[in-house]
Chains A and B, each alone.
Chain A
């Protein structure tokens, strides 16, 4: 005990009197960053294509973003897009599923189909010298899937198993309730199907979903990496015969901005999983970039206020974070954290404290400058960290209907945000009395702690 006290005291001594602290070296002048040049073209059938020559490692990421997914499902068709995606891997009119898997493997890649809320991505990453072949195989999958009825029962059983497992995971439970609350009666709020619905889907339903939603006019193909040969010509030849199809119907989201509070009981849980948030302005709104900066300062980075508070000062949690999650022309802000059960109430208190603090006073210029420089550096990484990252950035601006200049102007716009604007967007958008609170945890142990937050404080 004495030893320990002495040690701490000595270290403090050393720091205070023993020597001046060294300042970190500044480093050299910044090196210019230029976005990797993108080459865009559109096929006669309306399919959009973007090629990006990037990097020195001989691999190429190929991703078709098809504007089809959860938003195209009816209320009792949740995950039909997923069944369709699984069936699309089961072969084409001329290739069995085994042949397809083997031929993709021969390019050094594999076929990945990821149905999302608004977009299904179909693609993968191949070796540069086989990228042309990968693109031809991809075209076959998109244009001629066999969607074999013989495989539907197995794939539905896989989805049912996945659903059952998801229902035991605290994060999935919290996210489902949170999105249900914010987007009631909307595909944006439907995370999981009812098991009975899932059981009723057929290969016919999936074929209908494919016919209605997969077509050239709804597809944007991105190819990024070390490109070799005339891929433009390969793409034209592979995709020009695909039918044009109809545009996606727009879906209304109607996000709800209202105070709500839900506890999902998880007896004996050693942690409570928190989701606290609400809809905010989307990427097309001029407030979006100030919101992005504000979020990074408040909870969206390691050195942010909420993380410093509930992790580095209090030790309540390992992985707290806030984020702005976007859909087309929509966004919501949410703080998520898995906190020790006995610290559930105190964690909520500190999260709300940090929100209130930023609502009431602007950050110092120095704190804001640190966040702005971080975002400027992060921007370079987001555009270079891997070929898929390059694609992700381009798809973001394209799908939001933003101009590509959004990317070239982003850093300047971030740097231009003033401390007063941070306070202003916090005050305008992060309204504690309009937030949805979802807590998955041991109800008996947390009931008293969370009681003060059940209703909005006036």
Chain B
């Protein structure tokens, strides 16, 4: 109560959450919002790029592309045309712990979207030619995002590869081109059969619909799909890091050096996890953040600093396994990485040696609250669907969305200090020095 008063006594926005599971294991979350006559349909499968065949890096992502190449009743391009011709947009993405597919359509087309998603959950109808085509497309995606860009994949693709020791967390998840090109259609179909089943998925519907009607559609189209026997989840754990890791990588396309540093996160949903969420706000989010003031304003090392939890691939609410908090900046060659790290440490050390000021903590709680509301608003409610589907898949509890603020409110200055001491330890971090200009050896610095 006291904490609420400190936050200005503002009324919390409560997200409607209707949650149930079909007999075949599909987790369903409904969240009506009648602001506009649109509806988001988001289907999340609990298979991310961590878990892909070891000799097929990038396979989970290549597979995501294949989900657009044809199903029992929709041929190649027909899924895309169906959504587009009904006035909607669609996409899919592959992340650490899930692969998602979503459509935003006029509200009266909810049934159409559910029918189409169920159709491709039932089975793929793809050809070698489709696969070859998407290997070309994905190869070009890797080129445009990584191989032909200065700072390509910096730091989001690279820093997990240095910071983690478990293959599932430390391989190149965009994929080596040779692995992407080597994939065969029977591998695609096997991957589908293994992971694309109702008991490995969560469906979130957000927008202008009537829950009873939506339940009927869900039952009609997803109810008959049989569940499957899921393989055991491999051990994804990372050991406690005891020694600082320093890595260097040469970027032949970059003309200014860059620097990234990352720390392993506390386990999800612990008091320390919520404290790290607030530490992230304090350290790098916004012009008022401590590292921005130190590195950008005071020393002028860089024009900006970016970072976060699960940075560039999501946020602190949409992953399940081991994770990093990271920060990065591009700087001039006249300043060394050690000098920048020494300034950063002066800020981080101060959080470890005394409790944070209440005013600073309160400010960052407000920023977090605003961030959560922002996520909920994004993309006609897709951001809300993203949180609901993840909380259903990872915690079997999408109503958690309404408890987040309370968790952040219960973080005390002591929790912040304790969390900073254990998780912002130098021996828990990886520093990646990104060298500009020099010709890289074939395999990079790995």
A residues in contact (CB < 8 Å) with B: 3-4, 7-8, 11, 14-15, 21-33, 54-59, 89, 97-98, 101-102, 104-111, 125-127, 129-130, 154-155, 157-159, 161-162, 164-165, 167-170, 269-271, 301-303, 308, 311-319, 338-340, 369-371, 373-378, 380-381, 383-387
Contacts and interface: CB of A to CB of B under 8 A. Distances in A.
Closest 3 CB pairs of A and B: A377-B87, A315-B136, A108-B370
Contact of A56 (B13, B104, B330): B13
29 contacts: A8-B128, A22-B72, A26-B112, A33-B36, A58-B13, A59-B374, A97-B297, A98-B293, A102-B288, A106-B363, A106-B366, A108-B367, A110-B286, A111-B287, A130-B366, A159-B303, A170-B149, A269-B148, A271-B144, A303-B81, A308-B77, A318-B138, A338-B143, A340-B136, A371-B84, A380-B38, A381-B38, A384-B35, A386-B377
B140 A301 contact: no
**Central interface residue in A3, A98, A102, by most chain B CB within 10 Å:** A102
A374 B89 CA distance: 8
B350 interface: no
B100 interface: no
B89 A340 contact: no
Contact of A380 (B36, B136, B303): B36
Given A54-B35, A55-B35, A127 B300 contact: no
Contact of A386 (B13, B75, B126, B379): B379
Interface residues of B, number: 91
A22 B74 CA distance: 9
Interface string B87-120: 1111000000000000011111111100110010
A385 to B, nearest CB: 5
A126 B370 contact: yes
Nearest to A58: B13
Contacts of A101: 286-288, 293
A102 B290 CA distance: 11
A315 B137 contact: yes
Instruction: Name which of B75, B82, B144, B363 has the most chain A CB atoms within 10 A of its CB.
Output: B144
Given A22-B73, A106-B366, A125-B374, A158 B300 contact: yes
Interface of B: 8, 10-11, 13, 33, 35-38, 72-77, 80-82, 84-90, 104-112, 115-116, 119, 125-128, 132-141, 143-144, 147-151, 184-186, 189, 208, 253-256, 286-288, 293, 297, 300, 302-303, 330-332, 363-364, 366-367, 369-370, 373-374, 376-380
Contacts of B288: 98, 101-102, 104-105, 110
B133 A315 contact: yes
A169 B149 contact: yes
A104 B106 contact: no
Given A161-B303, A168-B254, A374-B87, A271 B128 contact: no
Contacts of B148: 170, 269-271, 338
A98 B364 CA distance: 15
A105 B361 CA distance: 12
